[in-house]
Structure 1
Amino acid sequence: MFPGRTKGDREKIHRRFALDLTNRCTVEYNFCYQKEAAGELDRLVNRLSYVADCIIDCYTGHCGDTCRAYSYICKGTESDFWGKEFLPEHARCLYMTEDDENLVRNCMNIRFGRKNLEKTRFGTSTQKCEATNRGYNKSNPKDITFQRNFSC
């Protein structure tokens, strides 16, 4: 699927592709959430299922009608498209087999799957909670008990 003369070249492109796919899925989700769904789970799942097929078409070089219809950030034209900077200049599309397409679709289901969308549909995160717990653990270490160290 990945062009390159040596195994190192292919692995480098593979890592870049993974980062690009992650970034694209995140941007598509954010635009879909802001423009279309805004927390409505069924609508979000429906729209993002079309976006997943559109992303695969875009990476295989068939960017056009599907991107115009379903993508939020790639319009499939010469001036407005999702740039694929991870690929070298001489090869701007991937040649995927059905197994490769299914693998990429499964990777996108990690972000666009119904279970994961149920967990993230409100755009919340646990970072504030984790930061508060770290603060508590720093100020109240677990190895110090008040009964043993302080008189009542």
Structure 2
Amino acid sequence: MAVPWAASLEQKVKDLDLQIRGLRLTEERAEAAEGQLETMEKEVSSLQQRLAQVVTDRDNVKSDLDASFARLNRVKSRLRASRKAEKKAQKLVLISEDRGFTAGFEEVIRKAHAAGIDHKLLLEEGMEDPIGRPEEPDVPPVVSSDPESEMSD
């Protein structure tokens, strides 16, 4: 028979051999895991870059959208103001048409003098409208050749 210590030594060698094989398998698995980790790190880095680009794009779209809404609100505001002014102008036209018939001959004379028109010539031409409009709308008002001489009378 063999020496008892030799058997225990042989057993220890076998155990060490098994441990070495286990370590080699563990090393191979660790190397494979490191390769997978590198691949995953590259994927994570790529995803982070894409995420940063998406965030930048989102911010750009948000600022464009905000600018568009601001422009839209300005246009809406101008449109409301324009509509309000149009309604006011329509009311003024209606009021002035109502008042125009009763404005009086003095106002027509004042406007004629302010425009450089001799109101006496308008009267000689047969103007009967107290508002200062000729009877034929296509006929321009008569302008005096020398408005100062007529006005000084």
- In the superposition, the TM-score normalised over structure 1's length comes to 0.25
- In the superposition, the TM-score normalised over structure 2's length comes to 0.25
The structure that is helix-richer by fraction is 2
Q: Return the index of the structure with the highest Cα Rg.
A: 2
